Amino acid sequence: MTILVAVPDSKEGAVALAAAADEAELLDTDLVVVNLGLGPLDTSSLPPTLKVTVTKRTGKADRDPVDAVLADIEEYGATRLVIGVKRRSPVGKALLGSVSQGLLLEAPVPVLAIKIDDPHR
């Protein structure tokens, strides 16, 4: 079993990464981190005992982050996907679409969606 986490360059990304690390420790599985941002990703906060693979988007085929994550799920045989979600304005969604929505609807594996604007967390 492998857990795969999609980490955009944003607050949701950091929250998703932390939650995915907890999940992987709990289930005692390895973790694949898909860096959706364009810069390097800091994974030093992850527990050293965890087996972590970091991948990034490369080339035109990975231009759409949703496609990049779906391709990695298949490549690494991931059995669960972790993403961070937040409320977005209708204008924001219309302009840039929603990666979270795309992944929720298209991922072939169960998706664990972590809310960042949840006051109970």
Partner 1 sequence: MSHGAPITSSSGIALPLLRPGPHQRRLDLIAVVATFGGLLFGYDTGVINGALEPMKHDLGLNTVTEGLVTATLLVGAAVGAIVGGRMNDTLGRKKTLTIVAVIFFVGTVGGVIAPNLAVMLPSRIILGFAVGAASVTVPVYLAELAPTERRGTLSGRNELAIVVGQMLAFIINAIIAGVWGHHDGVWRYMLAVAALPAVCLFVGMLRMPESPRWLISKGRHDDALQVLLQVRNEDRARAEIAEVEHLAEEESESQTGGWADLSVPWIRRIVVVGCGLAMAQQLTGINSVMYYGTQLLTEAGFSASAALIANIANGVLAVAGSAICLFLVIDRMPRRQLIVRGFIATTAVHGLIVIAATVMPQGITRAYVILILCVTFVFFMQLALNVPVWVCLSELFPLQLRGFAMGLSILCMWLMNAALTFAFPIIVGLTGLQGIFSLFFVVGVISVVFLWKMLPNTSGRSLEQLEEAFAGGDFR
Nearer to partner 1, 63 or 121 (CB): 63
Question: In the stretch 55-94, what mask flags binding to partner 1 with x, by CB under 8 A?
Answer: --xxxx-xxxx--------------------------x--
Q: How many CA atoms lie within 13 A of 90 on its CB side?
A: 0
Q: What is the dihedral of CA 12, 78, 108, 59, to 10 degrees?
A: 70
Residue 15 as a binder of partner 1 (CB under 8 A): the answer is no
Go through 18-43 and write b for each residue having 16 or more CB atoms within 10 A of its CB, e for each that does not: bbbbebbeeeebbbbbbbbeeeebee
Residue 43 as a binder of partner 1 (CB under 8 A): the answer is no
Nearer to partner 1, 23 or 67 (CB): 67
Nearer to partner 1, 56 or 79 (CB): 56
Nearer to partner 1, 26 or 38 (CB): 38
Residue 116 as a binder of partner 1 (CB under 8 A): the answer is no
Q: How long a stretch of residues is the chain?
A: 121
Count Cβ atoms within 10 A of the Cβ of residue 1 and give its class: 0-12 exposed, 13-18 middle, 19 or more buried: exposed
- Residues forming contacts to partner 1 in the complex (CB under 8 A) are 8-10, 37-39, 57-60, 62-65, 92, 96-97, 99
